[in-house]
Structures are given as structure tokens and as C-alpha cells.
Amino acid sequence: MPNQLRSQVILSIETNAGGVAKSTTAYNLAYELGVRGYSVALLDIDPNESLTLFCGLRESSHPGTMADVYDPSFAGNYPLMTAWASKIDKIQVCKGGKELHETIRLVSKDLRGPYVLADRLSDYPLPHNFVIIDCPATLEPLPLTALAACTHVLIPIQPEYKASQSAAAMIEWYYHNCKQLRLKPAPKIMGIVPTRWKSNWGAHQSIVEELPIVCQQLGIRFFNPIRESADILNASGRGLPLGIFRPGREARADFQPIVDALIQELAEMGDR
């Protein structure tokens, strides 16, 4: 784990499946932290660059992506861009993109591959209150670098019939790799959050009733679900957070418990 600033939360959003709204969760959390006055760096380590798209930056000609941060020649010049600069100045993004396919190959061959991102954030700490890492929908190798670099982990789960098994598999992956990587202390699991929840679907309702029991058995916090919303989908397509696109929509409130928990974690780190 990097020697981050005394009060800095590095959150990795880890998942073992695609389509669970991890990027949507990442950038909406960043915006909600930003409007509360906290600075946030969003690191997109996904070659599919969904986060970059949702932040409205895919068409930007600004040079540099997260592939540069992983490159052996990196010397601390993070290629950060401010998102939604006309509305807020608290959120910066380091883009993902296809260049990360080569990064995956290099990390896989490097004996210190899983620790590359941790090394970067330790040698060249970012000044932000929060660093949020948006991982690809796979568990190796780039999500391993995020696990080794982070202080906290958030696990989004899609509310489908195998949700309990997916949650258990993610927790098993977490403990196994924390042990394999000898992470001391291991990053804290912030909790599990169901995403893309449809309250009028009986299957979704029953699964969301079951998951808190599973989480309690695992000793992990359960966050109330983030609903499926046309407003969220439309906001993502326009490269805006819900708080800018439709600030009065009730779906925006779904992110607030996680935001509150992150701020509490930051405060506790400052007290240590």
C-alpha cells in the first residue's frame, strides 16, 4: 500500500463481472464528493475507457493516459484533466484507453507487476483527498495493481440470482490476493452495493432482501441499492454526472450513503 497523504482515501472499485455500473458509480461518487468540497482524482485503468466517456473526455486531444503512469519511465507527471470544469474544479481524471492493453502485457511480465501502481502513488503521491480507481471487469492483472495500491475497496454487485455467489467469490478473491501480495494492512472493504436495481422486479427485490444477510455473515457492510434509472443512463451518455444532468432526481440520493461512509473513513484516517 502506498505511503499516501496522511488523510487520503484510495478507493478501488473491484468487480468480477461486466455491466455492474462500476464506472457510473465511480464518477457519480467523485462528483458528490466534489460538491461537498473534497478534491478527487479518478484513475481509469480500463482499456474500454467507460469512465473517460462518462466524464465527457473521450474526444479530448489531451495527451496521456493511465498507460503512461504504468510505464517504467514515469516520473510523476500525471496526465490529469479537470472534468466538468465549467461547473466544478474539484475533480480530475486520468484517462483510460486502448493503450492499457500493452500495459496489461507489461504488468504480466514484470516481477513487481502487481505493485506498479502502488509504487507510483507512493513515489509520486497525488494531492487529492480521494483517489478513485475504476477497474476493468476482470480480476487480473490490472485490478490486482489497484488492490495493492488502495486503502479501501468497494464491490458493486448486479442483483441477479447468482449475486450471493458473486459476492462470495469476490470476497474470496480479495482475501486470497491480500495474502498473496502480503498487503499489511490490507485495504478495508467499504462494503457491497447492488447496482442497476429495479424495485418493481420481484427477482431484484428478493435478491436485495437476501444480500444483507449474506453480508452480515461475511462481516461486510451492505449499502442500499443504486437503482436503474433512465436519468443516470442519459447522464452517462452525455458525459455528465447525475448531479449536473438532473440534480433534483431522487436517484441521486442512492450515492449519498457511500459518500458519507467515504468522508467518515477520511476523517478517521486523519485522526490516526
pTM, two decimal places:
0.93
C-alpha distances in angstroms, 99 versus 143, 176, 181? 16, 29, 26
Alpha-helical runs (H) found in 9-83: 22-35, 50-54, 66-70
Query: Which single residue is written with the C-alpha cell 505493485?
Result: 115
Give residue-wise pLDDT tens across range 154-192.
Answer: 999 887 766 667 778 888 999 999 999 999 999 999 999
- Whether the ω angle into residue 127 lies within 30 degrees of 0, i.e. cis, is no
Q: What's residue 1's pLDDT? A: 44
Q: Three-class SS of residue 262? A: helix
Grid cell of 49 as nine digits: 475507457
The whole-angstrom separation of Cα 104 and Cα 154 is: 22
2 in a structural domain? no
Q: What's residue 209's pLDDT? A: 82
Give the helix/strand (H/E) hosting 116: helix 116-123
> pLDDT category, 133, cuts 50, 70, 90?
very high
* Containing structural domain, residue 122: 9-271
Q: CATH number, domain at 191?
A: 3.40.50.300
203 in a structural domain? yes
1 in a structural domain? no
4 in a structural domain? no
Query: Which single residue is written with the C-alpha cell 462518462?
Result: 54
3 in a structural domain? no
